[in-house]
Amino acid sequence: MIVVIDYKAGNLYNVGNALKYLKADFTVSGDPAVVSQADRVILPGVGSARAAMESLTEQGLVEVLQGLRVPFLGICLGLQLLFEVSDEDNTPCLGLLPGTVRRFDSSQIKVPHIGWNQVSGLDVSSQPPSILLKGIPEESFFYFVHSYFAPLVSPFTLGKTEYGSWFGSVVAQENFHGVQFHPERSGEIGLKVLQNFLEVQAS
């Protein structure tokens, strides 16, 4: 069973519709007992890092998420929460990836970053591409909506996007995966990313 985490925020409706389209068996829950028994977990994200982490803490989900051994996908804010800390209200996050999530410089570019943008694979010979991008052409366009961005952290950054400067738009660490864009709002190519996640083998 796929569990889409309900933490009183997040784009649950669109994510659910995308999973229904893919004929995936899923449930929406914020119950730690349900999440801990999931075959794979999706953490969607809309809103602030502080509010999200407070909600996850109140629901008893932080340690559950940190201890997951099944495939996990963080979307948008869900990707950002994988890192150690967010500059948004100086919020401690899940700490599964090293680094700090920072805000775009509104004196240089329009914030938030909204719209279609490209994802590039990092050209590192020792780094295999993300399984999420299997069958996805290089420089494909996806839909973004965010004001904060993840750092480029080797070897965990497996896709990057340029907006003012380069930031991490696809990350992975063992069973944990994250995308900064919204696959559920990115048309057929976004659905392909979600399908790839559904096919990730549990370790």
Model confidence over 14-59: pLDDT tens digits? 899 999 999 999 999 999 999 999 999 999 987 899 999 999 999 9
Quick check: 175 pLDDT over 90?
Answer: yes
Selecting among 88, 113, 177, 184, the annotated active-site residue is 184
Indicate whether 203 belongs to any domain: no
Specify whether 76 is catalytic. yes
Residue 126 is predicted with a pLDDT of 45
Task: Give mean pLDDT, residues 167-190.
Answer: 96
Specify whether 182 is catalytic. yes
Task: Give mean pLDDT, residues 179-203.
Answer: 94
Indicate whether 42 belongs to any domain: yes
Indicate whether 31 belongs to any domain: yes
For residue 86, give the nearest of 122, 51, 126, 38 by alpha carbon. 51
Indicate whether 125 belongs to any domain: yes
Residue 121 is predicted with a pLDDT of 83
Q: What share of the chain in percent tops pLDDT 70? A: 95
Indicate whether 9 belongs to any domain: yes
Q: How many structural domains does the chain have?
A: 1
**What is the residue-wise DSSP string for 61-127?**
-HHHHHT--S-EEEETHHHHTTEEEETGGGEE---SEEEEEEE--TTTS-SSEEEEEEEB----TTS
Q: Which domain holds residue 47?
A: 2-198
Task: Give mean pLDDT, residues 161-190.
Answer: 96
Q: What residue has token string 């920072």?
A: 102
Indicate whether 27 belongs to any domain: yes
Indicate whether 19 belongs to any domain: yes
Write the CATH number for 106: 3.40.50.880
Task: Give mean pLDDT, residues 172-201.
Answer: 96
Selecting among 84, 182, 188, 199, the annotated active-site residue is 182
Task: Give mean pLDDT, residues 65-91.
Answer: 97
Specify whether 146 is catalytic. no
Indicate whether 138 belongs to any domain: yes
CA distances from 72 to 14, 84, 165, 178 (A): 18, 17, 27, 8
Selecting among 76, 88, 93, 177, the annotated active-site residue is 76
Residue 125 is predicted with a pLDDT of 47
For residue 25, give the nearest of 9, 42, 10, 7 by alpha carbon. 42
